[in-house]
Amino acid sequence: MRRIGLLAMLCLAATALAAQPKFVNEEYDLQKVADGVYSFIAPESDSGVVQSNCTVIIGEDAALVADTGQFPSLAERMVADIKKLTTKPVRYIVNTHWHFDHVWGNGVFRSAYPGAAIISTEFTRELVEDQGPRVLSTQPAENKRQTAEYRRFVADGKYPSGHAVSDESKRSLTRLADTLEHVEAEFPLTVHTPPTVGFEKELTVNLGKREVKVMWLGRANTGGDAILWVLDAKLLVAGDTVVYPSPFATGSYMSEWPVVLQKMMDMNAITIIPGHGPVMHDASYLKTLVELFQALTSQVKKAVSQGLSLEDTRKNVTLPEFKDRFSSFARTELWRNEGFGTFLQAAVDRAYQEATGKLKPESEE
């Protein structure tokens, strides 16, 4: 009976362990998206800390990796998976933009493939080179500060404003604090490794009977977004010009972004790999983004023409019809409740800067 009881307890413990949600630096879904093209699709974040999608494109002579994520431990796993998929060397790494959830795995890939060229727009190269050491030196302490703050809110049951912390918010804050603590071990493993090759408009990489065009189509999510076009597969790697289930907009270019998206739609891709979110097989989501950005820009311009302050503009530009649409896309509670609101605050601020002619540098946002 003791043995049976012990076995039952072990089974229950194993079930409980298996039921624990994984952290953002512990998982991805490796998907074959076309012949010789595989993507490491990050799950929708349940904490607010994100990992980018990453993609390997394989030719007859060499392979190219688009984005490397922000966690060295995951980059190590990706390298191991790539070596199972192909014996071809990774000779090229492309960073689609400078945000560090897309570039902090560079050091791992460069170590595994020492001769690899790291490619980006010149804009991205300069920002990674300039901002990387600063962020790496300050982010660990900032994460600790935020973790302590979030745990204090949960313990006190109220925010500094005096407003109560709901049970739902307590769960979200606890998950975020747990995640920030969990990923702390990644910082000592992160080696500042900026791009080595910058380009302005377009660059073609020949992988051996397969060409990949790396292009800058204009300012969108950042001033230096690169997209990758694999003609033989009609496949587009979009970086964060496309993010699902809600876009990011910190430091973005709200009136120019739709122009870039339209150029992408004109390419008639049959496969689109966003910077975050699932692989797409039509442009319907891109059209929704265009509608969203155009509506937001128009309403913010109107508010500015009426002399409204930024605070009043935020109150007036709420886009409830889009909020419902984007919230319905989300799978996790966090993104349903907060994803669109987080986008909207940053997007209104940025559109207001643009409409008033006071656009800040991205690194200051």
- 8 Å CB contact between 96 and 123: no
- 8 Å CB contact between 244 and 276: yes
For 33, the enclosing helix (H) or strand (E) is: strand 29-34
Min mean pLDDT across 94-108, 277-291, 322-336 is at 322-336
CA 326 centroid distance within chain: 17
The torsion region of residue 69 among left (phi > 0), alpha (psi -120 to 50) and beta comes to left
Domain ranges of the chain: 29-128+191-285, 290-356
Tally of residues, the chain: 365
Say what the pLDDT of residue 33 is: 98
- 8 Å CB contact between 135 and 100: yes
pLDDT in tens, 5-14: 444 444 444 4
Say what the pLDDT of residue 196 is: 97
* Nearby residues of 167 by Cβ (< 8 Å), 6 or more positions away: none
Kindly tell me the number of DSSP H helices and DSSP E strands found in the chain: 11, 12
* pLDDT tier for residue 19 given thresholds of 50, 70 and 90: low
pLDDT in tens, 169-210: 999 999 999 999 999 999 999 999 999 999 999 999 999 999
Q: Estimate the share of the chain in helix, then strand, then coil, as percent rounded to the nearest 5.
A: 50, 20, 35
Say what the pLDDT of residue 20 is: 72
Average pLDDT, the chain: 94
CA 216 centroid distance within chain: 18
Averaged pLDDT for residues 133-144: 96
Q: How far apart are CA 53 and CA 43, in angstroms?
A: 9
- 8 Å CB contact between 179 and 24: yes
Superfamily grouping for domain 29-128+191-285: Ribonuclease Z/Hydroxyacylglutathione hydrolase-like (3.60.15.10)
Does the structure show a pLDDT above 60 at 15? no
Q: How far apart are CA 38 and CA 303, in angstroms?
A: 45
Averaged pLDDT for residues 255-271: 98
Does the structure show a pLDDT above 50 at 76? yes
SS3 of residue 264 by DSSP: helix
Say what the pLDDT of residue 249 is: 97
Say what the pLDDT of residue 7 is: 44
Does the structure show a pLDDT above 70 at 60? yes
Residue closest to 348 by CA, chosen among 306, 305, 293, 307: 293
Q: How far apart are CA 26 and CA 315, in angstroms?
A: 39
Say what the pLDDT of residue 164 is: 96
What secondary structure does DSSP assign to 12-25, as a single string? HHHHHHHHSPPPTT
Cα separation values, 338 from 169, 204, 332, 341, Å: 11, 39, 10, 5
